[in-house]
Structure 1
Amino acid sequence: MKTLLLALSFALSLSHWASAQTTPVQDVLQNQRALIEKSSRRTIGPAIDALVASGLPQMQNVLEVWQAKEMWQHKADGLFYTATKNADGTYSLQDFEQGIEVGTATATDLKQLKPNSGVRAMIATALVQFQLSDPDVSKRADALNSIARDPEAALLVPLRASIEGETDADILARKMRLERLMSMAFDSDVPTRVAAINDMSGDLGVDFRATLNPILSTTRVVAEIQPDANIAQEVKVGSDTLTRDAAYALLIAAGKAPVEITAEARDAALEAHIEGGRITGLPVAQLSTEAARDRAYDRLVSRGQAAPRVTQADIDASLATYRFFDVYSEPSLAVTASAKAALAASEARVAISRAADLGLDALSLASIYFLAAIGLAITFGVMGVINMAHGEFIMMGAYTGYVVQLFVPNHTASILIAVPLAFAVTFAAGVALERLVVRWLYHRPLETLLATFGVSIALQQLAKNIFGTQARPLTSPAWLDGAWVINDVVSISYIRIAIFILALLFLALFLFIMKRTRLGLETRAVTQNPRMAASMGINPDRVNMLTFGLGSGIAGIAGVAIGLFAKVTSEMGSDYIVQSFMTVVVGGVGNIWGTLAGAAMIGGFQKGVEFLNPSNTLAAQTYMIIFIIIFIQFRPRGIIALKGRAAGD
């Protein structure tokens, strides 16, 4: 009975094996057997094309298995299978038609096909045609990525065929865009190419401009008459794009003019014909001048022993005989005309978008400077106190946010807690500084500057002792990650947008405090005339303390905002103290609108210099300081001057 079962099993295996030899997939593979066995990048192309052209749905699996080096060949009959290694060391063979097991074999009976990287790359290109319609969205996306990296004319037809049945909106948009780009480059029908170019005219995408550039590439040619080709322009000799030397070099390269005999070539020819210390009968000792060497060389030319020298008259004659043209590589005039117009429209939009992007960057930087300077606008602009420790209040606010995040892991909640806490911490620090140091130095600006500078150094060292010298992270909430992308050129990060909104909120808050609260009324009164304010029952000492604390507290909140995108270190305040002072001085001492205008001017100027000289960021700082020095010469009180104590009245 056991013998009978083994016999039946063997017979069934033979029937499966026999059926594997006659399947359509196996027939195609056997027709290309010689090329598949060799698997050379130079010769494998026809075999891969034959597998794709068969139209068999199983060919996608065949190509994927082959690419993954998991295809095996049975040595005895040359059939191809996938194989699974068994526990006993044998291999179970599965056919490509239905994926069922058709028999077993030992390792010595099989040969594993291991295509090299070049062949695998060609297989990957062929697989793209199947993957464009694969049920798996990720495979369709990978196929589009593969086409975009290495577009080929052969992939245009299957790409178009896959568009109609596409169900995913994002993939459909990518397919349609890629189809337009490939139509420009590879379609054989000129009207179709022109229509594709016109459809995308003015597009900002880098891929669009990269597709147009090869269409508009030119080659410079030399001809006696205008050639029958798609000519971009005729180039005149002596113009900026074609000097006389370059034009003659083109004639030499084209074999239309003799090579000029250089001094080195002349001397080499003379040395080659030295006989008995003479050249053409002339003693070598007499050839010490250029004119003598020219005469000796001319004798060699007359004897047919050297090539004639090219005179200036010869060069002029050659240049007068020939014309120079830039000829498009693309033969169709309609295609190049459309491409040229589309590229011009695209570059114009790119220029506008870059200007808008630069403006957004300048606005973003201005909002950062405004946040850093608004507290100083109170302490310096209103009170007339030069507080060199203002940057350290910004640093304290940033470190407060860092400490809060150590205890509150939720980044959104931590920021909401850090903002008022940073205000409280730096408000208290500002009040302490005013009570202990500044109040004794009013109307003594030099002593105030030196004292607060010493405080700033002490605060920096204290921060180093507590937090170390390594930068600490202040992580923004997840909803502030990324950027608002307006188009392919213009974008701005959500953190910068949040800082801009925060700056506007601070502007509104400051205006409310100064215009609608008792503290604001008293501050304005003390600013305009402290003696008169005191006679009206206002305590100038208390107002100065609260005003200084308010400015310091706002600096702490600014530190939290700045710390979200900048490094939090003990020296971070020094990065903003100079810009803060410049913002207040340029805008107009004691005027919040002037501070806003100063921040906009400095931010815009700095970004403009960085745009013109992107390789040297230090130049922006240098030019900005020079600009401010010149500006103050003409408007010493700033953009918006304010009368009162701060203005020097």
Structure 2
Amino acid sequence: MFRLLSMALVLGLSMPVAAVAQSLQNILQTHQEEVLKPGRRTVGVVVDDLVASGLPQALPFLEAWRDREIVQRDTDGLFFRVIEDGDILILNDLDTGEARGAADKVSLTASRPNGGVRRAIGDALVQFQLSDPDITKRQAAVEAIERSMDATQLGPLAASVEGEPDPALKEIKTRLAGMLGALFADKQEARLAAIAALSGDLSVDVRAVLNTILASAPAVAPTVPDDVNIAQLLIVGTDISATEAYARLVSADLAPALITKPEIREALVANIVDGTVGEVALATLNTDATRALAYDMLSANGLVPPRVDATAQAEAIAAHSFLLQYAEPDTAITDAARSALTEIETSVAFNQSIDLGLDALSLASIYFLAAIGLAITFGVMGVINMAHGEFIMMGAYTGFVVQQFVPDYTLSIIIALPLAFAVTFGAGVLMERTVIRHLYHRPLETLLATFGISIALQQLAKNIFGTQARPLTSPDWLGGALVFNDVVAISYIRVAIFVLALMFLGLILFVLKRTRLGLEVRAVTQNPGMAASMGINPDRINMLTFGLGSGIAGIAGVAIGLYAKVTSEMGADYIVQSFMTVVVGGVGNVWGTLAGASLIGFLQKGIEWLNPSNTLAAQTYMILFIILFIQFRPKGIVALKGRAAAD
């Protein structure tokens, strides 16, 4: 009945207000007892009269009634909405909303609806608020319906869809009405149409609705029933164990319960007579077999219930059918729901693959940015630079420092990118001129020296910036995510890093292929001796190349800092992946670095998807795979050409 009343409330209160002499106070006076002491059966009477009145003040009254703010003044029996002002109670007129003086608690009788009545009033309010002029109230009403998913809300929600002025909220209402229709529509055709409309929706709540329709419970019967909607016939030994099957028979009172060993022991103790139990001497009751024999003798004499042996259990199981029975009796509904859910799950699996691919592509972009500078220095100079990660760290801290002086985050990033390149380019040139140039062709000493520089730079960063992580804040337009559907989404930060990686790929290819510096770098890479004989200064090229690689690492640090926290150890998180990227892709080759970053990014994400609970294991498996890969292709995916390839 309350469903009809609540629907009437939606229709009645949404009509234009007629000029009526009746007031809200007059209506309440005719229902004094129901208002003061409301019950689940009587609240509908009050709501019915309020709907019939068409009074706009009925809605505020219902809200106050639900919130226990309605009182009756004892002197004249009038109802008011009470507002507490310290120790003073202010009485507000229910028709005009104006204050009508103050009163003390002694002279007032409060209406105290219980939880059930308040929920009933709240349901009516939610349904009415679906058409409220205030969009925030309409949104709150929709959220309340999403939480409760009650059958009584289908009609009012569907009625409010057509007149909804906000397109986004209208779409939400339509979708929610579809879910409620799939669950509660009166006609089979309406439910089937609602289920079919949900088949393209990948959201979790739609899958929850379909799973609710497909909810099943175990059942057992002597024969397969014809009048129930069977989800699955269970095969004993395959779908269900014999022990569980017999337990279900016992629970359904279709078979006697098994006699347990403790029960046998208790029965034997209770039937000891002159040192024997069932004509079996106590001294011989030291094995399960003799205790079972004694119990069977007691059972033959009618003293205890008989035991159920294995043969009897097997016969009882064979004589019955075990099944899963849908709670939904209509087979057409469950068939449609199962078909829709299968379609959704297939689409979800496909979209999860796309989402995993986007994550892998994003990770590959990060690894490419981190490794491209190392690929240039390592490929041209053969220097194992263990401090490459610290150049990434220096670039990130450069971005952080810029943001302390330039509060506009967009402008600060624009300034930070070239500044980070300049800072790390200078640091790279300084490092090459003071340390690296003296260690050419001495890889072990170079590794140890750059490792020591790495530690020194980390400590220097700790001394300057402290050990606490520093935020490199991205602009507002990089906040949020690019959402394709409920499964596929990627943050704008990752999109920006991917775009930056593409820009650097194009820029580096242009420098190497279209500029004199690139020509000289390629010449030194392919054949240093011949390049020197042609007038190219390998020492100068080495310096500029090391500086270029370091500068690119600085720009990568700004990009990575937007994605991760800036700390003194952040470079160490990328140095191993950077070396793996360079080695797997092919030393000194831009396309090889891109291929290596893609392989490692996709491989890592794939392993994490297979073993999401253990990221350390994912790293281990990835390294093992790369070791095996290098055994079969030691020069990488894209090997160098020329004499340098043979060095």
TM range (shorter): over 0.9
Shift of 1:121: 4.2
Do the aligned residues in 1 keep the contact of 2:37 with 2:112 (CA within 8 Å)? no
Q: Distance in 2 between matches of 1:77 and 1:275?
A: 85
Check if 1:524 corresponds to 2:493. Answer: no
1:115-514 paired onto structure 2 within 5 Å: 115=113, 120-227=118-225, 228-239=227-238, 241-514=239-512
CA 1:51–1:343 in 2, change beyond 3 Å: closer, same or farther?
farther
Do the aligned residues in 2 keep the contact of 1:91 with 1:106 (CA within 8 Å)? no
CA 1:76–1:582 in 2, change beyond 3 Å: closer, same or farther?
same
CA 1:301–1:491 in 2, change beyond 3 Å: closer, same or farther?
same
Shift of 1:274: 2.6
CA 1:615–1:471 in 2, change beyond 3 Å: closer, same or farther?
same
Structure-2 residue corresponding to 1:11? none
Structure-2 residue corresponding to 1:45? 40
Q: Distance in 2 between matches of 1:226 and 1:29?
A: 58
Structure-2 residue corresponding to 1:83? 82
Does 150-159 or 277-286 show the bigger shift? 277-286
Structure 1 counterpart of 2:300, one-letter code: S
The 3-state SS of whatever aligns with 1:647 is: helix
Does 357-366 or 245-254 show the bigger shift? 245-254
Shift of 1:89: 5.2
CA 1:48–1:645 in 2, change beyond 3 Å: closer, same or farther?
farther
User: 1:75-131: per-residue Cα shift (whole Å, max 9, x none)?
Assistant: 35654321357999574451x344456787543211233556665444332210111
The 3-state SS of whatever aligns with 1:596 is: helix
CA 1:48–1:169 in 2, change beyond 3 Å: closer, same or farther?
farther
The normalised TM-score by structure 2 is: 0.92
1:625-636 paired onto structure 2 within 5 Å: 625-636=623-634
CA 1:155–1:431 in 2, change beyond 3 Å: closer, same or farther?
same
1:561-580 paired onto structure 2 within 5 Å: 561-580=559-578
Q: Distance in 1 between matches of 2:625 and 2:77?
A: 81
The 3-state SS of whatever aligns with 2:140 is: helix
Structure-1 residue corresponding to 2:537? 539
The normalised TM-score by structure 1 is: 0.92
**How many residues are aligned here?**
622
Q: Distance in 2 between matches of 1:59 and 1:53?
A: 11
1:531-610 paired onto structure 2 within 5 Å: 531-610=529-608
The 3-state SS of whatever aligns with 1:73 is: strand
CA 1:102–1:575 in 2, change beyond 3 Å: closer, same or farther?
closer
CA 1:459–1:233 in 2, change beyond 3 Å: closer, same or farther?
same
Q: Distance in 2 between matches of 1:71 and 1:361?
A: 56
CA 1:466–1:319 in 2, change beyond 3 Å: closer, same or farther?
same
Shift of 1:246: 1.2
The 3-state SS of whatever aligns with 1:450 is: helix
Structure 2 counterpart of 1:45, one-letter code: R
CA 1:146–1:581 in 2, change beyond 3 Å: closer, same or farther?
same
CA 1:543–1:98 in 2, change beyond 3 Å: closer, same or farther?
same
The 3-state SS of whatever aligns with 1:564 is: helix
The 3-state SS of whatever aligns with 2:236 is: coil
Shift of 1:316: 1.6
Does 118-127 or 162-171 show the bigger shift? 118-127
Q: Distance in 2 between matches of 1:429 and 1:103?
A: 78
Do the aligned residues in 2 keep the contact of 1:471 with 1:567 (CA within 8 Å)? yes
CA 1:340–1:509 in 2, change beyond 3 Å: closer, same or farther?
same
Q: Distance in 1 between matches of 2:117 and 2:463?
A: 61
Structure 2 counterpart of 1:251, one-letter code: L
Q: Distance in 2 between matches of 1:92 and 1:640?
A: 84
Structure-1 residue corresponding to 2:10? none
CA 1:232–1:89 in 2, change beyond 3 Å: closer, same or farther?
closer
Structure-2 residue corresponding to 1:15? none
Structure-2 residue corresponding to 1:7? none
Do the aligned residues in 2 keep the contact of 1:369 with 1:599 (CA within 8 Å)? yes
Q: Distance in 2 between matches of 1:62 and 1:135?
A: 17
Structure-2 residue corresponding to 1:62? 61
Shift of 1:27: 6.1
Structure 2 counterpart of 1:489, one-letter code: V
CA 1:84–1:460 in 2, change beyond 3 Å: closer, same or farther?
closer
CA 1:150–1:456 in 2, change beyond 3 Å: closer, same or farther?
same
Q: Distance in 2 between matches of 1:333 and 1:447?
A: 77
CA 1:467–1:272 in 2, change beyond 3 Å: closer, same or farther?
same
Q: Distance in 2 between matches of 1:32 and 1:637?
A: 91
Q: Distance in 2 between matches of 1:360 and 1:281?
A: 79
Q: Distance in 1 between matches of 2:31 and 2:185?
A: 30
Do the aligned residues in 2 keep the contact of 1:202 with 1:344 (CA within 8 Å)? no
Q: Distance in 1 between matches of 2:433 and 2:99?
A: 90
Do the aligned residues in 2 keep the contact of 1:353 with 1:490 (CA within 8 Å)? yes
User: 1:121-170: per-residue Cα shift (whole Å, max 9, x none)?
Assistant: 44332210111111101100110000001111111111122122211111
Structure 1 counterpart of 2:519, one-letter code: L
Q: Distance in 2 between matches of 1:192 and 1:414?
A: 57
Q: Distance in 2 between matches of 1:565 and 1:275?
A: 83
CA 1:152–1:49 in 2, change beyond 3 Å: closer, same or farther?
farther
The 3-state SS of whatever aligns with 2:383 is: coil
CA 1:90–1:486 in 2, change beyond 3 Å: closer, same or farther?
closer
Q: Which runs of 5+ in 1 are unaligned?
A: 1-21
Do the aligned residues in 1 keep the contact of 2:379 with 2:525 (CA within 8 Å)? no
Do the aligned residues in 2 keep the contact of 1:26 with 1:79 (CA within 8 Å)? yes
The 3-state SS of whatever aligns with 2:645 is: coil
Q: Distance in 2 between matches of 1:320 and 1:445?
A: 77
Shift of 1:45: 2.9
CA 1:401–1:119 in 2, change beyond 3 Å: closer, same or farther?
farther
CA 1:175–1:590 in 2, change beyond 3 Å: closer, same or farther?
same
Q: Which runs of 5+ in 2 are unaligned?
A: 1-20
Q: Distance in 1 between matches of 2:621 and 2:233?
A: 43
Structure 2 counterpart of 1:46, one-letter code: R
The 3-state SS of whatever aligns with 1:81 is: strand
Check if 1:611 corresponds to 2:606. Answer: no
Shift of 1:554: 0.1
Structure-2 residue corresponding to 1:14? none
Q: Distance in 1 between matches of 2:274 and 2:28?
A: 77
Shift of 1:337: 1.0
Q: Distance in 2 between matches of 1:642 and 1:27?
A: 94
The 3-state SS of whatever aligns with 1:569 is: coil
Structure 1 counterpart of 2:326, one-letter code: Y
Shift of 1:260: 1.3
Does 511-520 or 116-125 show the bigger shift? 116-125
- RMSD over aligned Cα atoms: 2.1
Do the aligned residues in 1 keep the contact of 2:40 with 2:116 (CA within 8 Å)? no
The 3-state SS of whatever aligns with 1:595 is: helix
User: 1:350-375: per-residue Cα shift (whole Å, max 9, x none)?
Assistant: 00010000000000000000000000
Q: Distance in 1 between matches of 2:627 and 2:354?
A: 28
The 3-state SS of whatever aligns with 1:45 is: coil
User: 1:163-217: per-residue Cα shift (whole Å, max 9, x none)?
Assistant: 2221111111111111111111111111100011112213101121111111101
Does 263-272 or 354-363 show the bigger shift? 263-272
The 3-state SS of whatever aligns with 2:71 is: strand
Structure 2 counterpart of 1:458, one-letter code: A
